[in-house]
Structure 1
Amino acid sequence: MKLLFRNKYFWLLLLVCSFTLLPFLGLSDFHTKGEPREAIVSYTMLASDNWVLPTNMGGETAYKPPFFHWCVAVVSNVYGAVTEATSRIPSAVALIIMTMATFVFFAKRKGNKIGMITALTAFTSFELHRAGANCRVDMVLTMLTVCAIYDLMRWYEHNMKGVPWIAIVLMGLGTMTKGPVGSIIPCMVMGIFMLMRKVNFFRAFFTLVAFGLLSLLIYGAWFYAAYRQGGQSFLDLMYEENIGRMTNTMNYDSCVNPWPYNFLTVFTGYLPWILLLITTLFFVHWNFKKRINLKSIWSRMLSMDNIDLYSLIAIVSIFVFYCIPQSKRSVYLMPIYPFLAYFIAKLLVWLSDRQQKPLRIYGGILSVLSTLLFVVFVLIKSGIAPLTLLGGHGKHAITNIATMQAFANIGSWWQYVLIFFTTIIGFAWWRYQKRHNGDKLVYGIIVLTFALYLSVDGVYTPAALNVKSQRAVAGCIDRIAPESEGKIYEYIDYAIRTPGDKPHFFELNYYLNNRVHNFYKEKPQSGFLVITHSDYEMCVDGFKKQGYKFKFIKNWAEFDMDLYQFNK
């Protein structure tokens, strides 16, 4: 441990990751249903002092165990409010912790160079970087899962003596983040590895089952407490989310995709590094006449050193595991990303020693991209590019024009600094790659990648995403319909008919400080109603038969949202 804290690479990595990620967490407003849905759970925890199974104003309870929401609530309580930044800090810290753990794990076993490149490659993969700046449970779960896998290898290397309490605690927190999958995956990876290293089946099986059961103790305690509050509806929800999702017996469809979808998500999720792999393919000698010999492949796998085999098992087993359920999302596969980064790091080192042309081409692609971003920014800022450049019709045209206007309005001095820094690094690449070879080419590419992320995270992404947010709509509703004049209700017809993951106006509810109630459940006498135009046209006659009278107040066409005042 003392040697670790004396390692200059460790502190450099921590500084770079923190500086690249943390300053920009609060720049983007919530613009999807996922982030505000999680944030409002933490808001409700603090408001109601219910840390087991809080229920928001609309009657919604969390679909996942509460560890992530505890983290958001604790950070937000220190700050004084649940904000976009405070709700994203747990994910950002989780990404940084996992990056540091990745460096430590591989540097200890493969050297500082491999450890550093592996950690930086994982950190700059699109999927992990995006998840690290989101208020969702997935990045925290990924960190806990990956770190548990690392610690189980430490336990194996110590001749499987004692109990890996760190891994057990990490798995326990993983189950408290998203259910038993937080324990299943680390045990599965280590179990397959132990069997391939010819550990007795019964020893491997019962040992890992014991570790898994120990990790479920805290989850079991929370489960009982939550059942005491939620009763049968809580049990039904947990069955759907855990058993039903894995056995394809859910009462509703949730992110249903065929198994090839997982290949697509990894392909896009590992941008920009996937471009390097594609470039390298053109410089590899392929022998298509050679037959595939499965026995030879198996023998080569068994002859791998422990870290190579363990990393390969983690990639393959987790990938296959998430091909089983119908529900598939790109974030499910994030635990394989650090292990993919290890093999990419080995490829980068090999290329730097033997075949540098793919590195130079790939660096050139990133350099051109940084230049194009600058050119497009100048064209928009100067007014040469018309606001209608992105095209579209109806609400899409409104959003696209607003996006162009947002780019044109970029004007903070530090944003200009980021833009020019990225552009300068991009131009400098052409001179740099002519003067340097070997490892310096790899580190030059990594610097260029980080420069791109700085401008994308700090300038372009917030401008593009904030126009999609309902924050301004919520502010307008709050002025038109203050709390003193009545409660705000939502009505979504599909939410009444669907048995499972019900849609709500999550963004609106967050920015209205959890003021949005459920019209269908509460059947109020008066107040304000938020409803889509199509739902109003379909349901207004039925409402009037119940004695309701409506007064139209305002419409937001870009969000297909109407506001009415009603009484009965």
Structure 2
Amino acid sequence: MGVKMRGVKVMNKIRLSVLVIFCLLVFFVSLGRWDLWGPDEPRYAEVAREMLISGNFVLPHLNGEVYFDKPPLFFALIAFSARLWGEMSSFAVRFPSAFFATLTILLTYLLGKRLFNQRVGFFAGLILATNVEFWWLAHRANIDSTLTFFTTLSIAGFYLGLRYPGSRLFFYLIAFLSMGIGFLTKLQVAAIVPGLTLLTFMVATRKFSLLKDWKFYLTLPIFLFIVLAWIVSAYQLGGSQYILQLFYYKTSAMFFKEVSHPKPLFYYFEAFPAGFAPWFIFFPSALILAFQNPYRKQPEVIFLLGWFITNFFFFSLSKGKRELYLLPLYPAASLLVAFLWERYLSFDQDKLLQKLVRVPQYLLLGILTLTALALPLVVYKAPSPIASNYIFALPLSFLILGGVAFVFFNRFIYPERSFLGVTTIIGLFFLFTATFILPQINQSKSAKPFSQKVAALVKDSDKLSFYGLEGAEFNYYTGFIRVKRFYQVEDLKKFFLTREQVFCLIPKKTFNQIQGKTNIPLYPIISEKIGRQEILLITNCQ
């Protein structure tokens, strides 16, 4: 028995080490190889930069004005990362996202191990690391990777507290502490996702003992204290307007009104398959298995289904939708797919399991083969900066084809190798994308080169204005704070009616629309296409 336990512990350490190394390669190696891209990244980086300048870590500011959209924690993490790495670089700004994405993968492994066994946890960690949306957001200075860690930790804490009564106080403490920190990251959703998951599990299993447990009520004040302490501090600095804007107009109102990102009711039914690719191919099979006897009666399976399905429909009811809002559900989806694979490997003679795994497996191998064959041609035909990576696309294609062959020939004899082969292929593809493709796309997406030209010409933020754009990327890359923003032609006209030379950044399309309405001469100096729109720097003097 002792030898067996030692073997389990050794395998646990090996699998944890593999996940850490895999995340280091897939998330961190090329994290800073391209600039911050709008709309979110430079905006969040600028809020963090202004935090460092002002020393105010309670009330976020953007362009010198109170920033109502998000609470302060994520920006404080970026500021801390900048201090840690010695500069406000792309790597430092994205580091919190990659760091918490890695922690989420390790947490998913540990949760899978507790729910089922080591292999489920290990597979789930690899699946989570190699789906498109999670990988992409681990490379972005977006809040959602960080939020997902705290929602996952909170959910895990509640479930493990129910499962292990002897450690219940500790797990509830972790759950509410994580929920409170998550609330400072992205407000209500940090409580809603764990709350709906827990409620669904209690209703489905008819286990309402939690509501009578004094340990639950003893630890609940931890969450309340964290939230209220910040709200009081924010109210003292920002007043009732800040609280109302943050807690309703910028968050809750999105559920009831089409404030921003309006999408139809069934939007997530197409967005989730794309985001969870390529593993979504196995997700319908995972759901079919979960609803089969005896699995549908297992508390662990009920827990995962409640986590995913209830929250999926909750987010679908919201008027405002974005693909990344579903990220807190991705650990549950990964665990369900991992459970499917583990059952298949444990009972490979089961006819239903063979169909549930092998049919989507063949489909995935076909997609990977077509990708490998098309990749060199796609890169070669791409615009010139990307086409220069044609020479690197060829060996990657051969590696993918070799991996597909490896998976195909091991699918019966060593099926676990076929799973690991697929994750390796996907990991290599993501690494290639981050190392070669995204830095080339950066040439047309980055606002940095144009901002440097603007800063060299303007030199003083008082003489610069924005019209028809938020301009956070230009705040960040010029270093200017308190740049005037105009949305009415008359306000812009007043700004230009001065004897000294002043400037304005404006989309070219907008400039063409207002040019005849100002009745004053406006002179374009420089322009550059950034992403999909061309931006002009205009002035009142030739």
Sort the TM-score into its range (normalised by shorter chain). Answer: 0.7 to 0.9
Gap change, CA 1:198 and 1:277, over 3 Å in 2: closer
Task: Please say if 1:405 is aligned against 2:384.
Answer: yes
| Match of residue 300, structure 2, among 303, 307, 312 | 307
Letter in 2 for 1:121: I
Distance (whole Å) between structure 2 residues aligned to residue 519 and residue 102 of structure 1: 44
Quote how far apart the aligned CAs of 1:270 are: 1.0
Gap change, CA 1:410 and 1:452, over 3 Å in 2: closer
Task: Please say if 1:221 is aligned against 2:229.
Answer: yes
Gap change, CA 1:452 and 1:151, over 3 Å in 2: same
Gap change, CA 1:443 and 1:54, over 3 Å in 2: closer
Pairs within 5 Å for 1:260-409: 260-276=266-282, 304-352=297-345, 353-354=348-349, 355=354, 357-358=358-359, 359-377=361-379, 380=380, 385=381, 404-409=383-388
- 2:162 is matched with 156
Task: Please say if 1:168 is aligned against 2:184.
Answer: no
Quote how far apart the aligned CAs of 1:516 are: 6.2
- 1:533 is matched with 508
Task: Please say if 1:16 is aligned against 2:22.
Answer: yes
- 2:436 is matched with 459
CA deviation map 1:269-307 (0-9, x unaligned): 1111123558x79xx99xxxxxxxxxxx7x969962221
Quote how far apart the aligned CAs of 1:437 are: 3.2
Identity %: 21
Distance (whole Å) between structure 2 residues aligned to residue 5 and residue 511 of structure 1: 47
Number of paired residues? 508
Letter in 2 for 1:491: Y
Distance (whole Å) between structure 1 residues aligned to residue 143 and residue 242 of structure 2: 19
SS in 2 for 1:24: coil
Gap change, CA 1:155 and 1:419, over 3 Å in 2: farther
Distance (whole Å) between structure 1 residues aligned to residue 485 and residue 197 of structure 2: 47
- 1:291 is matched with none
Does the Cα contact within 8 Å between 1:257 and 1:327 map onto a contact in 2? yes
- Return the TM-score normalized by structure 2: 0.84
- 2:33 is matched with 27
List gaps (5 residues or longer) in structure 2: 1-5
Letter in 2 for 1:426: L
Gap change, CA 1:442 and 1:534, over 3 Å in 2: closer
Quote how far apart the aligned CAs of 1:219 are: 2.2
Gap change, CA 1:351 and 1:365, over 3 Å in 2: farther
Task: Please say if 1:491 is aligned against 2:467.
Answer: yes
| Match of residue 563, structure 1, among 530, 537, 540 | 537
Gap change, CA 1:560 and 1:217, over 3 Å in 2: same
Gap change, CA 1:319 and 1:277, over 3 Å in 2: closer
CA deviation map 1:233-266 (0-9, x unaligned): 31331221233233x15xx621111221111111
| Match of residue 232, structure 1, among 240, 259, 262 | 240
Pairs within 5 Å for 1:438-457: 438-457=415-434
- 1:53 is matched with 59
Letter in 2 for 1:490: F
- 1:497 is matched with none
CA deviation map 1:494-534 (0-9, x unaligned): xxxxxxxxx50222222112346014489655522112234
Does the Cα contact within 8 Å between 1:92 and 1:132 map onto a contact in 2? yes
Distance (whole Å) between structure 2 residues aligned to residue 168 and residue 236 of structure 1: 24
- 1:128 is matched with 134
Distance (whole Å) between structure 2 residues aligned to residue 42 and residue 99 of structure 1: 26
Distance (whole Å) between structure 1 residues aligned to residue 95 and residue 135 of structure 2: 13
SS in 2 for 1:531: strand
Gap change, CA 1:255 and 1:109, over 3 Å in 2: same
Quote how far apart the aligned CAs of 1:207 are: 7.3
List gaps (5 residues or longer) in structure 1: 286-296, 386-402, 493-502
Does the Cα contact within 8 Å between 1:4 and 1:10 map onto a contact in 2? no
- Return the TM-score normalized by structure 1: 0.81
Gap change, CA 1:139 and 1:204, over 3 Å in 2: farther
- 2:252 is matched with 243
| Match of residue 110, structure 1, among 116, 128, 152 | 116
Provide the alpha-carbon RMSD of the alignment.
3.2
| Match of residue 552, structure 1, among 504, 519, 524 | 524
Task: Please say if 1:508 is aligned against 2:501.
Answer: no
Quote how far apart the aligned CAs of 1:176 are: 0.2
Letter in 2 for 1:450: G
Distance (whole Å) between structure 2 residues aligned to residue 237 and residue 122 of structure 1: 34
Does the Cα contact within 8 Å between 1:490 and 1:516 map onto a contact in 2? no
Gap change, CA 1:475 and 1:197, over 3 Å in 2: same
Does the Cα contact within 8 Å between 2:147 and 2:182 map onto a contact in 1? yes
Gap change, CA 1:41 and 1:205, over 3 Å in 2: farther
Gap change, CA 1:550 and 1:357, over 3 Å in 2: closer
Gap change, CA 1:312 and 1:133, over 3 Å in 2: same
Letter in 2 for 1:408: A
Does the Cα contact within 8 Å between 1:318 and 1:336 map onto a contact in 2? yes
